[in-house]
Structure 1
Amino acid sequence: RLSGNLELEIEILPDISPTITYLSLHDTSFQGTIPSEIGNLENMRLLDMGETGLEGPLPDELFSLEELELLYLGDTNLDGTFPIEAINLSSLRDLDLSNTEIHGQIPSEVKGLTELRLLFLHGTNINGTLPSEMGELSHLWALSIAGTDVGGAVPHELGGLSELTLLWLERTSIVGPLPDGPDGWCRNEAVEYFEYWSDCSETNCACCTFCCADDSPVCNETVG
């Protein structure tokens, strides 16, 4: 694992052994775009380039890494639309694209990430609505879209996510009541501890652990 104030060039990636399974460049001075040669690291299970100088779009070759389970690219200057190609990563459990320039809508095809546990998109330019197909992500325990332009009502299908433990919806355009009823989040007895955040004035969430007012500094700190 490499970390700290290291001055690294993106060109070293092609020289990394293709047998490597874990690569963390978190919080380094890594600069540039992700090269297409990333696809040569076919045994990669964890890739962490968060808090670096990465920029530009995500290369298609990144989504050919069929063994990849953990992908952390948050707090970078990556851009482009939500990568629909990610559905090729059938083993992916964690996807962190938070505080990047990623934009567009969350595609309905996200349901193909059947092993997904964590999806962090807070502080991005994601918009549109939450697709009802996300209700098929049965292992999802952490979802954050705080500080985005996502709006509309939360589909009732998401109320069936029995493992959902962390939910950040504040600073969005989400409106209306959050899923309740027999399969709703507020009646989920399978989760002993949970942290649900939403906006006070736009949503009705009886079991939210924090309700964000417009002037709440705590809520602002959760984004960015």
Structure 2
Amino acid sequence: MIYLLICVVASLNNFTDEYVLLAFKAQITSDPTKILAKNWSQGSSFCNWIGITCGTRHRRVRGLNLANMGLGGSIPNEIGLLPTLQQLDLSRNDFTGRIPNGIGNISALTYLDLSTNGFNGNIPQELGQITSLEVLNLSINMLEGEITESIFNLSMLQRLSFLSNSISGNLPPSMANGLPNLGRLFLYSNRLSGEIPGSISNFSKLTLLDLGNNSFSGRVPMNLGNLKNLQVLALSRKQLTNDPSMLELDFLISLTNCRQLKEIQIGYNNFDRMLPKALGNLSASLEIFLANSCGIRGMIPCEIGNMSNVIWLEMGRNNLTGTFPDTLSRLRKLQNLGLDENKLQGYIPDNLCNLINLFLIDLRNNKFSQQLPACLGNLTSIREFHLAYNSLMISTILYLSRLTKRDDYEYSYLFSV
């Protein structure tokens, strides 16, 4: 009798799963490859349908993966009737409408990816009920409103990505308290505003923090150096400033404690401060340093030569003064060097020729004078060399002749004498 009851319950559960999947199929308005139209039929077990993964014991739906299939339509609220569903991936399709509240009833869900679709409306607060969730990706949609605070209580969450939406509001100071396992936070290109809360430094497992292209204002928290596991920091395209009592970019000094840091993006801000000598004490793993159009001024510290693994160094469109640092020649792995639109002057040193991996050099709109080192003509890796609007001698053009004969070479030089 007990065995019979178990079989009846299992059969009813399987019927429910099939009902939900067919309800999902009924909401599909575009199926260009006819995958669901041909494959999802009641004539076969739903466990054999494309995109469906079932558990081995009870044959209930564990995974629904229809990523990048060109599907269009909406998600029915019945999706919440799949209690054993662990992975739901509908990314890179053309789904529209609102994310259904019922999705918050999928208690077993660990992976939810609805990115690169056309979902609109607010982020459902019911998502905060899925306490098992480890990955939440709603990027590249048309979502708006504020981030529901319930999201910040998902203690198992490891990756949170809302980039490229229209989400607004402030980040709550308590946001780090309920996300002890968060490792990657993508909030790039939204409408978030207010100050970046200092409590963000409590994300002890954070490896990537991308808050770029928002409307944050105020100071960069000085305690970002507490993020000992941080590898990527992106704070570009905002309205951030620096402590007015400090002459240097003090938060960069704090970042010297982040010994795994590989990438820093701070361009397009309003810092109006000098680069600290501590720039040379940043992580030995640092490969990318982008600080263009952020108001940095003064001389480039010679300690920059300690950034031995940097491959991309961009500090163009600032107010840098002084001469070209000789110590830049130590950056033997450097491929992209951008110092355009500053107030640098003097000559370009011969030891620049030591940078044999250079792919791009942009020194236009400065006050460099005299002539370029002849050895630059031997740097066969260079594909772009921009020198326009300097005071270099016309004879310099002869040294570039070996480079400019290549079809894959792009250059600009306008010399004033």
Same topology, TM > 0.5: yes
CA deviations on 1:121-165 (whole Å, 9 max, x unpaired) are 111000111111111111111111111101111111222111111
Give 2:173's aligned amino acid.
Answer: S
CA distance in 2, matches of 1:81, 1:94: 19
Could you tell me the percent identity over the aligned residues? Answer: 26
Q: Which segment is superposed worse, 162-171 or 172-181? A: 172-181
Q: Which residue of 2 aligns with 1:159?
A: 225
Q: Where do 1:166-185 residues align within 5 Å?
A: 166-176=232-242, 177-181=249-253, 184-185=254-255
Change (3 A) 1:29 1:186: same
Query: Which is higher, the Rg of structure 1 or of structure 2?
Result: 2
Q: Where do 1:108-127 residues align within 5 Å?
A: 108-112=173-177, 113-127=179-193
Change (3 A) 1:172 1:64: same
TM-score normalised by structure 2 residue count: 0.48
Q: Which residue of 2 aligns with 1:209?
A: 289
1:3 corresponds to 2:3: no
CA deviations on 1:151-193 (whole Å, 9 max, x unpaired) are 1111112221111111111111111225244xx213433x1x5
Give 1:141's aligned amino acid.
Answer: T
Q: Which segment is superposed worse, 13-22 or 143-152? A: 13-22
CA deviations on 1:87-114 (whole Å, 9 max, x unpaired) are 2211111111111111011111211211
Q: Which residue of 2 aligns with 1:31?
A: 96
Query: In structure 2, which of residues 141, 156, 164 is the aligned counterpart of residue 99 of structure 1?
Result: 164
1:138 corresponds to 2:204: yes
CA deviations on 1:39-65 (whole Å, 9 max, x unpaired) are 221100010000111110111211100
Q: Which residue of 1 aligns with 2:195?
A: 129
Give the CA RMSD over aligned residues.
Answer: 2.1
Q: Match of 1:23, SS?
A: strand
Q: Return the offset for 1:200.
A: 6.4
Change (3 A) 1:156 1:72: same
Q: Match of 1:135, SS?
A: helix
CA deviations on 1:12-57 (whole Å, 9 max, x unpaired) are 7527622011111111111111111102211000100001111101
CA distance in 2, matches of 1:180, 1:79: 33
CA distance in 1, matches of 2:293, 2:210: 18
Contact 1:8 1:28 (C-alpha < 8 Å) held by counterparts:
no
Q: Match of 2:79, SS?
A: helix
Q: Which segment is superposed worse, 85-94 or 205-214? A: 205-214
Query: In structure 1, which of residues 175, 180, 199 is the aligned counterpart of residue 267 of structure 2?
Result: 199
Q: Return the offset for 1:8.
A: 3.5
Change (3 A) 1:178 1:146: farther
CA distance in 1, matches of 2:214, 2:77: 34
- Unpaired segments ≥5 residues, structure 2: 1-64, 243-248, 283-287, 295-315, 318-417
Change (3 A) 1:71 1:138: same
Q: Which residue of 1 aligns with 2:335?
A: none
Q: Return the offset for 1:202.
A: 2.9
Give 2:256's aligned amino acid.
Answer: C
CA distance in 1, matches of 2:224, 2:118: 35
Q: Which residue of 2 aligns with 1:219?
A: none
Q: Match of 2:120, SS?
A: strand
CA distance in 2, matches of 1:179, 1:52: 37
Change (3 A) 1:62 1:187: closer
Figure out how many residues of one structure are paired with residues of the other and give that number: 212
- Unpaired segments ≥5 residues, structure 1: 217-224
CA distance in 2, matches of 1:103, 1:178: 28
Q: Which residue of 2 aligns with 1:221?
A: none
Q: Where do 1:49-128 residues align within 5 Å?
A: 49-112=114-177, 113-128=179-194
Q: Which residue of 1 aligns with 2:107?
A: 42
Q: Match of 1:139, SS?
A: coil
CA deviations on 1:200-220 (whole Å, 9 max, x unpaired) are 66346635611123788xxxx
CA distance in 1, matches of 2:133, 2:142: 22
CA distance in 1, matches of 2:72, 2:207: 35
CA distance in 1, matches of 2:268, 2:72: 44
Q: Greater helix percent: which structure?
A: 2
Contact 2:108 2:132 (C-alpha < 8 Å) held by counterparts:
yes
